[in-house]
């Protein structure tokens, strides 16, 4: 059986290189669901009319796919008629948007029935388009770390504010105990992709994320993850748009320092040279092309507040980024949830 990449273990970030060395502080993470609060920032207002019912729901200790099944049952539709912008994991309090395709009918959401299924209705509206993956703008996080040990936190916070952190995919992408990796290796060994759409997507995402993390980890270990290398895509902040330059300039450095642009790495495609032949075969079957992803993650509005031995953190991340990539550069996390989350 081939190995995906000589970088990260299947479990995720435990052995990934740190940008600023391993933190000297430890803290308990996700002791209670309310210790990890994430609020999806949609980035636009629903139009108020159309075939799609938008619901903003708060859920406690249930993941996105479970919520989709509940909504499909409550509104008597097929699960594929329920859409969302980003996957959220189970452990925590999550505020998230969903859309339900309801052409020709305009039911009023029943807050009591939703509540009985563990969902709190925050607001609802109609819209002319359904939600698609990546539609939302950002995610806001409110996180409590408990039982912090003493250490030099202020210096690390300043580094993270000014220089950011490596934009690793978090453990959620690879599944509990690395289960998604085992699954992807199975299909790579079989030489074909699964027919079921969700499983197919998960296999491809796992493979590509693993290669990205491994490549980024190598650059972090070498100390050049924030230094331009010939061929690096240069990405506009908050966008998938990118350009390539033949040389680095003072103007580009100034834009980089301001956070206007980021150096990028690649989510591989079928023809990417670093991909093993068995994995390339799967990417080729799906006609996957390389896509850029920023190497650096800059948390916005990072705020900290101490409460005895506990630490409250607030910050906002762009879609597709993982809070654990920020937290791990500040504090060594003792995950008390029994699960791996975004």
Q: What's the pLDDT score for residue 6?
A: 42
Q: Which domain holds residue 283?
A: 166-297
Mean pLDDT taken over the chain = 91
Q: How far apart are CA 38 and CA 94, in angstroms?
A: 5
332 domain residue, yes or no: no
How many residues in total does the chain contain? Answer: 342
7 domain residue, yes or no: no
Three-state DSSP at 146 gives strand
Q: What's the pLDDT score for residue 12?
A: 61
189 domain residue, yes or no: yes
Mean pLDDT, residues 222-234 taken together: 96
Q: Give the confidence band of 236 by pLDDT, cuts at 50, 70, 90.
A: very high
154 domain residue, yes or no: no
Q: What's the pLDDT score for residue 2?
A: 38
CATH of the domain at 195: 3.30.2340.10
> What are 243-277's pLDDT values in tens digits?
999 999 999 999 999 999 999 999 999 888 888 88
Do 118 and 199 belong together in one domain? no
- The domain tally of the chain equals 2
Q: What's the pLDDT score for residue 341?
A: 38
Per the annotation, the verdict on 89 as an active-site residue is: yes
Catalytic residue among 28, 35, 89, 232: 89
The DSSP secondary structure of 63-132, one letter per residue, reads -HHHHHHHHHHHTT--GGGEEESS---SSSEEEEEEEEE-TT--PPP-HHHHHHTTEEEEEEEEESS---
Do 184 and 251 belong together in one domain? yes
**Phi, psi (5° rounding) for residue 146?**
-105, 155
Check pLDDT > 80 for residue 10: no
């Amino acid at each position: 059986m081939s190995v995906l990449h000589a970088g990260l273990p299947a479990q995720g970030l435990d052995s990934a290189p740190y940008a600023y060395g391993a933190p000297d502080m430890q803290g308990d993470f996700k002791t209670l669901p309310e210790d990890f609060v994430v609020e999806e920032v949609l980035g636009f207002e629903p139009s108020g009319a159309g075939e799609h019912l938008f619901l903003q729901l708060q859920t406690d200790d249930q993941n996105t796919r479970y919520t989709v099944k509940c909504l499909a049952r409550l509104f008597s539709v097929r699960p594929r008629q329920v859409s969302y912008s980003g996957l959220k994991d189970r452990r925590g309090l999550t505020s998230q948007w969903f859309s339900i395709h309801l052409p020709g009918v305009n039911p009023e959401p029943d807050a009591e029935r939703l509540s009985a299924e563990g969902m709190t209705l925050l607001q609802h509206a109609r819209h002319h388009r359904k939600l698609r993956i990546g539609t939302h703008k950002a995610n806001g996080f409110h996180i409590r770390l408990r039982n912090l040990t003493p250490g030099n936190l202020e210096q690390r916070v300043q580094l993270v504010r000014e220089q950011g952190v490596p934009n690793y995919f978090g453990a959620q992408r690879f599944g509990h105990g690395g289960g998604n990796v085992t699954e992807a290796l199975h299909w790579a060994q079989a030489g074909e992709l699964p027919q079921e759409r969700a499983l197919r997507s998960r296999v491809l995402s796992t493979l590509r994320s693993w290669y990205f993390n491994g490549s980024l980890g190598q650059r972090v270990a070498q100390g050049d993850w924030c230094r331009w290398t010939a061929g690096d895509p240069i990405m506009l902040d908050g966008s998938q748009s990118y350009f390539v330059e033949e040389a680095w300039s003072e103007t580009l450095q100034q834009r980089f320092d301001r956070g206007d642009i980021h150096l990028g790495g690649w989510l591989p495609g079928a023809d990417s040279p670093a991909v093993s032949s068995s994995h390339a075969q799967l990417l080729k079957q799906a006609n996957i092309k390389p896509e850029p992803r920023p190497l650096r993650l800059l948390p916005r509005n990072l705020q900290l507040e101490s409460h005895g031995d506990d630490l409250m953190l607030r910050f906002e991340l762009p879609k597709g980024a993982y809070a654990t990539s920020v937290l791990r550069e500040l504090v060594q996390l003792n995950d008390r949830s029994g699960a791996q989350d975004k």
